[in-house]
Structure 1
Amino acid sequence: MKTRTTKILMLFFALVVQLSFAQEKSISGKVTDGGGMPLPGVNIIIKDSNSGTQTDFDGLYTIQASTGSTLVFSYLGFTNKEITVGGDDTVNVVLEESAAQLDEVVVTALGISREKKSLGYSTQEVGGEEVNQVKTANFVNSLSGKASGVQIRKNTNMGGSTNVVIRGNSSLTGNNQALFVIDGVPINNNNSNSRAQEQAGTGYDYGNAASDINPDDIESVNILKGAAASALYGSRAANGVVIITTKRGTKGDGYGVTVNSGVTFGTVDESTFVKYQDQYGAGYGPYYSSSDGFFNTEDIDNDGNLDLVVPFTEDASYGGRFDPNLLVYQWDAFYPESPNYLKATPYVNAANGPIEFFETPFTLTNSVSLDRATDKGSFRLGYTNFDQKGLLPNSELRKNNFSLNADYKLTEKLTARGFANYIKTDAVGRNSTGYNDNIMGMFRQWWQTNVDLKQQRDAYFATGRNVTWNRKSTTNPAPIYWDNPYWTRYENYQSDERNRFIGIASLNYKVADWFDVLGRVSVDTYNELQEERRAIGSVPSAFGLGTSGADRSGGRIATESGYSRKDIVTTEYNYDLIANFNKDITEKLNLSGLVGLNVRRSSYKSVFASTNGGLAVPNIYALQNTKSPLLYPFERDEKIGVDGIYASASIGYDDTYYLDATIRRDKSSTLPADNSTFYYPSVSGSFIFSKLLEVDAISFGKFRLNYAEVGNSPGFDRVLDTYAINTAFGGASASVKNTKNNPDLKPETTTSIEAGLEMSFLTGRVGFDFSYYKNNTKDQIIPLSISTATGYSYRLINAGEIENKGVEVSLFGKVIDNPDFGWEINANWSKNENAVISLFTDANGNEITNYQLGSFQGGVSVNATVGQPFGTIQGTDYTYINGERVVNASSGEYIKTGTSDNVIGNITPDWNGGINNKFRYKNIGFSFLIDIQKGGDIFSLDQYYGRATGLYEETAFTNDLGNPVRNSLADGGGFINPGVNPDGSTNTTRIRADRFGAFGYRRGLPNAAFVYDASYVKLREVVLSYNFPKKLLDKTFLNTATFSFIGSNLWIIDKNLPHADPESGLGAGNLQGYSTGSLPSTRDFAFNVKLQF
């Protein structure tokens, strides 16, 4: 109901308009549907103006309009209707239900478009604008919170990889990532991170290949969640499919030009970085030569008296209390270029801590596209430049993306289409991950709070040397554990470049109105160069090639310098021939389907080589600059061929009943010749029961049910035994590999059932989509430990089963929808219950109930445990009496378990959800997305070490006596561990907190003390946009102009992991639930302008 003020304003507006248009009059009428039912809330506007109204509850309306003007009637679920005002004052309108609404078309497997109502499985679409608002290096990150059943684990590293898991982990050792498909053709989404990097060893996260996809080229993303939806992809379909449809040319007057330009700034989210204690400085406690035991002593100024020297050889902050009146010699007193050379300075907390090390991340994104479409064909030509300056010094990521999408009707029956995409990616200064050589590990675990980062920066730039705070002695400047962080960033840096081409060409011949044949060929190829450098004068650490391990990362020697390079070339060809048919047998009976074949040929080649023993000459990074003879390189040359034949058929009756069946047969070269062919069937059905109901409130109702079997093929070199060459260049020595292959190996097989219910109400304004599924994956490919007397350590077998079952709910609603104001809500929620049903029997016939997936620094491991969800975190735990932690009565320390096989957490979350609100007021748009994860656990090595070394604020508090906890016991310090003694009595033993490890791993705390709930609630996106009015643009050469402000990751509303982001993982692999040395997250603020000509 309109307010009095609104009525006055409308009257004033009507009077003003009447002065300009002498023929204006009052038009009234009624709007109904095809059955004569009144439609409330129909939008009625005068075309090319902002004047409008809505129908009331009875479908009645009144509007002031002039003769000759055009009234536009629009209503959700119905086709718009335009009526020109003539001599009649009464205009009654009948709106017809929209065919687009009733027959919404989505892209399914193989790029085939189908009516969504006919599908017997779950799909969910995310629009291109939804993944293009936030300008990131990996568009996949923009899917977070926007689709139910899809878990996305991002990485805080620049250009880092993203883990996309649909409906839970199903493979113990294989790939759990979704398959990515562009315009019907699968593309490569591998990453080239080493196994050592995935297990928190030294390495870099080079990102996964899906990050090459340009979001500006994306029209829509459709997610096929269940096995029935993806079954036509056969042995690649076990993990669901992300189908990307690219933009094409659109019809209009002449050529269309779109320019999109944006700039993004970031700031560190300080809730994801260390909050240091600021009361105590360097060292591990009172163990040194000064009277209080907190400093070394040495006669620095040659006056015959011993001076206090900070123990800079130690990498901790369990030292003496800061005192501005106490003068001590610190690291910067011992290099001649320092302004404090041979000077004692006040012993105080650093004015510029590690937070000052971070720079302002800055991203420029500019794209331009040219497109046109006619009755004969269309094209779209696009270019995007992405230039990102990272959070760390000397870090940058650049992408140049060229794309062409074209189709042309060669004859009335023959249409050609092509898509070409070239991507050039260059990066420098990615952050080292894991434990070793990681600046973030230093800042989070091994640091002195008295060290000033500005002074470290000045020392490096003034000298060009590795002037570190962590030197060996007053007379030896060599680093003992840690380099100067600026030396690390500017000297020990990596670089990488990738050139990628994706090409698709197809011919479609329309044999008849109901039958066509598609021939398609595609190629996805890239070459990549990764280079890593370590300058002479650095801390010795493992580098380059080793002598053992599947990827030669084992047995590496520590060296202070080196150079390595890895060259990768990967190519995949797909050849498809598909015959499609869609025939109305009778007025009510429809038969559609396809028959096709696919030939896939893929290859992967890589060569990894490094210097041996260090660099012979400084600053020359080439393999020839090696101190010792080169080790033989690690080479891979893999070729895989898969031949597939597939068919599908769908019967629809009366637009109400649908039954689908598909079958695919794959013959793979990675399987034994006699066991290389497998079949993957599916059957699904849907029943649109709303067609049989005469309930006005129910717009649509569908029940669906399906069953499917899909596979996950083994990788290369798993069947036949091969040999490894052990000597360099010309030697003949060879040996068998560590793992014995299996000539009877089979692919992992997933059987799936799914039931779903889709409903919408009030002519489609509100609705939901509910799914229940149960997936069982058998014949897991597992390396079984065997006696080394066989000549091997492991043997590949098929065994074990993982089950995933769960529910997914998607809700949508247009709460308000009128000409001036709209409010739309989309919500997603999913819960997946994962369980390891069985594993295998060992060589002695014993049932194995635990399989270790990976072990980590700190003594923890990630495991598959029978009866538990995938990814149990195991380690030492507290011991308990009646639920109370047990404390050693004499020492006051906790009594922990004697073994490390206790389940202390699990990486699998309980549920995930997202809520997206979109508001529209005239030309202004506003939206915000809340992203939620409940449950899952994460072990923090940062807390494990960082609390032991006294860095965190939690290690310098006031105790229960009101005294500093680090005071000696005699001075009222220390603390009492909550718990009970072995006899059940309450613990009252006070223990010291003034020495190394009081709150960390060194004082009896088990691994379980550092496992945290990985839940979070995040304000993921905020978008504020303004569309310039058409009247204003009519005076220019622009068709549309939009200005937007976009905020991403603005606020972690709630989390339990202290000092870090619970999403920060090591990469996109299966091993999650472990946090060490991660970069802090950033809050990003972007401004974007989009112009269309």
Structure 2
Amino acid sequence: MKTKFNGILTLFLALIVQISFAQDRTISGTVTDETGPLPGVSILKKGTTLGVETDFNGKYSIKAKTGDVLVFNFVGMKSVEKTVDTSIAINITMVSDNVLDEIVVTALGISRDKKSLGYSTQEVKGEALTTNKSGNFVNALSGKASGIQIRKNNNMGGSTNVVIRGNASLTGSNQALFVIDGVPISNANSNSTSQGNAVGGYYDYGNAASDINPEDIESINILKGAAASALYGSRAANGVIMITTKKGKDSQGIGVTINSGMTFGKIDKSTFANYQTKYGAGYGPYYSGPGSHWNIEDVTGDGNDDQVAVYTEDGSYGAAFDPSLLVYQWDSFDPESPNYRTATPWVNAKNGPITFYESPVTITNSISLDQSTEKGNYRINYTQFDQSGLMPNSSQKKHNFSMSGSLKMNDKFTATAYANYIKTSAKGRNSTGYGDNINSMFRQWWQTNVDLKQQKDSYFATGRNVTWNPKTSKAGSVPIFWDNPYWARYENYQSDSRDRFVGNVSLNYEINDWLNVTGRIATDTYNEIQEERRANGSVASAFGVSRGNVDSGYGRRNISNTETNYDLMFNLDKDLTEKINLKAIVGTNIRRNTFKSIYSSTAGGLSVPKLYSLQNSGGPLPLAIERDERIGVDGIYGSASFGYNDTFFIDATVRRDHSSTLPKDNSSFIYPSFAGSFVFSKLTNFDWLSFGKLRANYAEVGNSAPFDFLYDTYDVNIPPGTSSTSVDNTKKNPNLKPERTKSFEIGLDMKLLKNRLGFDIAYYKTNSVDQIVRVPVSTASGYLNKVLNAGEIENKGIELSLTGTPIKTDNFTWNTNVNWSKNKSKVLSLEDGITNLQLGSFQGGVTINATVGQPYGVIQGTDYTYLDGEKVVDAATGQYVKSTTSDKVIGDTNPDWLMGISNNFKYKNFSLSFLIDIQKGGSIFSLDQYYGLATGLYAETAYTNDLGNPVRNPLVFNQYDTDGAGIPSAGYVATSGGFINSGVNADGSVNTTRIRADRFGAFGYRRGLPNSAFVYDASYVKLREVAITYNFTKELLNNTFLTGGSISFTGSNLWIIHKNLPHADPESGLSAGNLQGYSVGSLPTTRDFGFNVKLQF
């Protein structure tokens, strides 16, 4: 990597030296249309890459010399060319053009006129990604384009799920391909399978695309369908996120831009637990003290019994709070506690779990230098990202250094290069999943009488694990279920770091004015270290390679990943006649991927406390888990596009890939695409129609097998050197063939009323066949699964994008955009004899599945039983009657539809923008509700019942209303607690049986409720972004060293306008991947407020 970096750095130095010699005089002016100044007009020196844009007042300045030709372009306006004479001022008035010449970046980084495309693409400008400084530009795409679903979670630096037009693969990756300046980069996720299955004690390390600096992004073009992305070969089935980076721009000398921003977070309380405040520790009236809610122990040592809160339990079904009642609690047992051997009032904690979280702060600073001349351009940027997290002792830092440049060596040769080095480090990511997760403790297993400030003071005063949940009341007792949360954060922490280099060098040779050839070498490589620690004295839990329960340990994972692409491409653009144009590409791509990882850990705990080293293992080191992958794909491709009279366009592409992960006889596969478009507005003369285009396409793309799916391999067992070996529990398949996705799309693109109103609507249908999957087999075979080609998924949907400018005057402009999409997926088939493929199994008894005839990713579990549409209740117990099997479809993780509504208002130099993000439908299972209701934490468990009494009052029935078995039949005293489940008995009569609610399990999973009771509608309406910006005026900057600048006040996730999931954010999840729709122990969402200052020199 060092050699590659040094070579590219040398090239950049040469570029800068060459570029800096060119000198011109400054030409300035104002660009207007019929309504006034035009901001954002592109001005280029013809035949060069030199260019600028007009500011908010339509003003510009550019360096040029006499004889140069300036080209003025703006979407919806006719292009204007002006030759520079002896004047230093050129003012332009642009007029509307019924034909839009909008240039977009397509596959392989090729720029195309958008009207010629026969497939759907959508562009997002870079400035839309940097308004709010989140550190992960992927999250900022939410709501800004149709057909793309962004699912983020609240973990610091956590993963984001990016799916375009639905899931196309049953068990493979469904993540979109990320491409920078035409070159694919890694978006790998190093999280373990267990982390994705919500097994506790694992961390979300994020996905690699988040390394990309949003300050470097000029624009993003989303290639949605197979026809748009087919030239990228076997990774194109999931769509492409095309990133175009910023280049050097013209300035009077070297242009300098400084950006500095800061954001502050505040918890949205609607996404955290709403605790009941009436009852404290315990599981119900099961103990020996008064009212059966207390332990009786001699805490003070005076030989007398003391009334003690039930410290060994992790629920809140205890005695009602009473400030006059003094009891001994967890802080009475430790000699270093201020309350040692002291009884304290029995009250709800003043400082509940929400006080545990800290206010996250993010600081982003960047500086860039750029220049552009006739000989080329360059841009250098450095960005520092520093974030303190929501959880105590959590932080993330990024250092991002990038360089890009282009040099016109002579009339024939042009060299370009891009280099990006990213140093990322993090500490204190939160553990995810069910066990060993502080957030699960707060949301599921907690005592409302525990004061977090006292827990904090105990840890920092003693440095010990003084927990609220000890095994005994003896001083120094170890925890029974849960650590002191501050001990967990400051002692049992993880850390990780990643060094990454992304770069490419290309050389373009113009053979003649219609044919050129480009050669390019690109690499993306990173090394990552992940370390996990568990301190002596912690709760014993699963850890390390063997996942044995230990109270201490150390684990380390080393990862290296490299992708290298070699490209040679001939590009033809020729007018065959006055009306017929041909664009063609012929090229080859050689891709090589290597991935190595090794994970090792201690076993049997740590010999020496706080010495985190593999050599400090309490027992023999287990064999490390290693993985070494090498994948090669060789591809050749071609495309041809014919245009007739700028009205009719026909495209065709073909690609052939040869993959090393497929068997020899099936390793090569070919897939074509065809597209056509008809700009019908060229043949009409309606004043109201500015532009109109019909388009249609059909495409096929392939997808090769994952690594290590062909041949059975054997593991050498412990101890090394013996002849004992074992085979993997999955039978591999040496006869695999590639997956194939077939896609059809038709669309209509129109601009109306002089481009003041526009829409783009598309209908698509994709079928993914010959899925490469693991399916279960009989254990009598010696295996659990086998690999084969089986199954078909169908996705079909509608996408709609609306753009409008309802108001535009000299001083005020209102622009609005609406993106709406609806995707419907369906599993059409699996292997013969198999109707369900389980994708994941979770705590709580639910599974995520691919079920024939159902959408991909349905939730299965137990459900209510029904009689004529009414839920059936057992008349004897008052509990609901559940289904006898857990294979009922009780939810669908896919949304019904998605919508984003953005508005931008500009008045003179002020602008206000906001984005509303909407999801309708989808399902999510909440393990927090499943357990948290059962333990009596939530306010829903301490309400006033239908008799007007606290629901937790004892259930008391009249003596004459008792049958011989002591089961209540009817009639309750006026003070009775309990509740009646709505529904009917087996005979159809209305249920009247009251059940008690004064003990653990009265609510939640122990109430006999089915899994479906904890599946919620995942709909939401969010005020996702707000920004107020002031752009400094030219008058304000006169007589200063500044050439431009702005100040912005921003907000993100400011308001969840509507949601149905209680106590959590419907977007909360585990990580990226195919397993969605499961919420457990998630962090609360924060409302983020910030400001940003931009200065240009």
TM normalised by structure 1 equals 0.91
Distance 2:324 2:843 in 1: 40
Distance 1:73 1:594 in 2: 26
Aligned residue type for 2:1022: K
Q: Which residue of 2 aligns with 1:905?
A: 891
- Write out aligned runs for 1:980-1019 (5 A): 980-1019=984-1023
- Write out aligned runs for 1:116-515 (5 A): 116-202=114-200, 203-475=202-474, 477-515=477-515
Query: Is the aligned partner of 1:541 residue 2:527?
Result: no
Distance 1:128 1:730 in 2: 57
Q: Which residue of 2 aligns with 1:550?
A: none
Q: Which residue of 1 aligns with 2:628?
A: 637
Instruction: Give the drift of 1:728.
Output: 4.9
Contact 1:250 1:373 in 2 (8 A): yes
Query: Is the aligned partner of 1:880 residue 2:858?
Result: no
Distance 1:769 1:592 in 2: 25
Distance 2:267 2:55 in 1: 45
Q: Which residue of 2 aligns with 1:1059?
A: 1063
Which of 600, 607, 618 is the equivalent residue of 1:616? 607
Q: Which residue of 2 aligns with 1:529?
A: 529
Distance 1:775 1:811 in 2: 24
Q: Deviations over 1:365-416 (max 9, x none)?
A: 0000000011001100000000000001000000000000011011111000
Q: Among all aligned residue pairs of Structure 1 and Structure 2, give the percentage whose two residues are the same amino acid.
A: 66
Q: Which residue of 2 aligns with 1:854?
A: 840
Contact 1:43 1:75 in 2 (8 A): no
Instruction: Give the drift of 1:538.
Output: 0.3
Distance 2:489 2:452 in 1: 13
Q: Which residue of 2 aligns with 1:927?
A: 913
Contact 2:75 2:102 in 1 (8 A): no
Contact 1:43 1:73 in 2 (8 A): no
Distance 1:995 1:1078 in 2: 26
Q: Which residue of 1 aligns with 2:902?
A: 916
Q: Which residue of 2 aligns with 1:3?
A: none
Q: Deviations over 1:926-984 (max 9, x none)?
A: 00000000000000000000000000010000011110000011231010101011101
SS in 2 for 1:612: coil
Residues 51, 812 of structure 1: alpha-carbon distance in 2 compared, 3 angstrom cutoff: closer
Distance 1:438 1:245 in 2: 40
Q: Deviations over 1:124-165 (max 9, x none)?
A: 000000111111121100000000000000010000000000
Q: Which residue of 2 aligns with 1:708?
A: 699
Contact 1:908 1:937 in 2 (8 A): yes
Distance 2:1066 2:121 in 1: 28
Contact 1:501 1:526 in 2 (8 A): yes
Distance 2:56 2:233 in 1: 53
Instruction: Give the drift of 1:176.
Output: 0.3
TM normalised by structure 2 equals 0.91
Which of 1067, 1071, 1084 is the equivalent residue of 1:1080? 1084
Distance 2:55 2:305 in 1: 87
Q: Deviations over 1:762-811 (max 9, x none)?
A: 22121000000000001111212223333322110101100000000000
Q: Deviations over 1:92-144 (max 9, x none)?
A: 99844569x72211110011111101000000000000111111121100000
Instruction: Give the drift of 1:292.
Output: 0.5
Contact 1:600 1:642 in 2 (8 A): yes
Residues 95, 977 of structure 1: alpha-carbon distance in 2 compared, 3 angstrom cutoff: same
Contact 1:284 1:314 in 2 (8 A): yes
Distance 2:828 2:221 in 1: 31
Q: Which residue of 1 aligns with 2:569?
A: 578
Q: Which residue of 1 aligns with 2:714?
A: 723
Q: Which residue of 1 aligns with 2:1040?
A: 1036
Instruction: Give the drift of 1:291.
Output: 2.6
Instruction: Give the drift of 1:743.
Output: 0.7
Distance 1:603 1:1028 in 2: 49
Distance 2:1089 2:375 in 1: 43
SS in 2 for 1:238: coil
Contact 1:956 1:966 in 2 (8 A): yes
Instruction: Give the drift of 1:815.
Output: 1.2
Residues 361, 990 of structure 1: alpha-carbon distance in 2 compared, 3 angstrom cutoff: same
Q: Which residue of 1 aligns with 2:978?
A: 974
Q: Which residue of 2 aligns with 1:18?
A: none
Distance 2:93 2:522 in 1: 48
Q: Deviations over 1:322-357 (max 9, x none)?
A: 000111000000111111000000000000000000
RMSD: 2.1
Distance 1:728 1:359 in 2: 47
Distance 1:1055 1:198 in 2: 24
Instruction: Give the drift of 1:725.
Output: 2.1
- Write out aligned runs for 1:545-564 (5 A): 545-546=545-546, 556-564=547-555
Contact 1:74 1:81 in 2 (8 A): no
Distance 2:493 2:133 in 1: 25
SS in 2 for 1:486: helix
Q: Which residue of 2 aligns with 1:65?
A: none
Residues 1025, 539 of structure 1: alpha-carbon distance in 2 compared, 3 angstrom cutoff: same
Distance 1:719 1:171 in 2: 18
Distance 2:674 2:835 in 1: 34
Instruction: Give the drift of 1:819.
Output: 2.1
Contact 1:43 1:74 in 2 (8 A): no
- Write out aligned runs for 1:673-684 (5 A): 673-684=664-675
Instruction: Give the drift of 1:83.
Output: 14
Contact 2:76 2:101 in 1 (8 A): no
Distance 1:501 1:269 in 2: 37
Instruction: Give the drift of 1:49.
Output: 12
SS in 2 for 1:1018: strand
Q: Deviations over 1:996-1048 (max 9, x none)?
A: 11111111111110000000000000010001111110210001110001100
Distance 1:262 1:966 in 2: 51
Aligned residue type for 2:929: Q
Which of 648, 657, 678 is the equivalent residue of 1:657? 648
Q: Deviations over 1:50-73 (max 9, x none)?
A: 999xxxxxxxxxxxxxxxxxxx99
Instruction: Give the drift of 1:303.
Output: 4.1
SS in 1 for 2:489: helix
Query: Is the aligned partner of 1:937 residue 2:936?
Result: no
Instruction: Give the drift of 1:729.
Output: 4.7
Instruction: Give the drift of 1:1078.
Output: 0.2
Distance 1:456 1:136 in 2: 31
Residues 50, 277 of structure 1: alpha-carbon distance in 2 compared, 3 angstrom cutoff: closer
Contact 1:81 1:95 in 2 (8 A): no
Residues 42, 48 of structure 1: alpha-carbon distance in 2 compared, 3 angstrom cutoff: closer
Contact 1:874 1:902 in 2 (8 A): yes
SS in 2 for 1:830: strand
Distance 2:348 2:954 in 1: 21
Q: Which residue of 2 aligns with 1:15?
A: none
Number of aligned residues: 1016
Aligned residue type for 1:324: P
Which of 800, 804, 811 is the equivalent residue of 1:813? 804
Distance 2:1049 2:719 in 1: 58
Query: Is the aligned partner of 1:1025 residue 2:1045?
Result: no
Which of 951, 976, 989 is the equivalent residue of 1:965? 951
Instruction: Give the drift of 1:75.
Output: 9.8
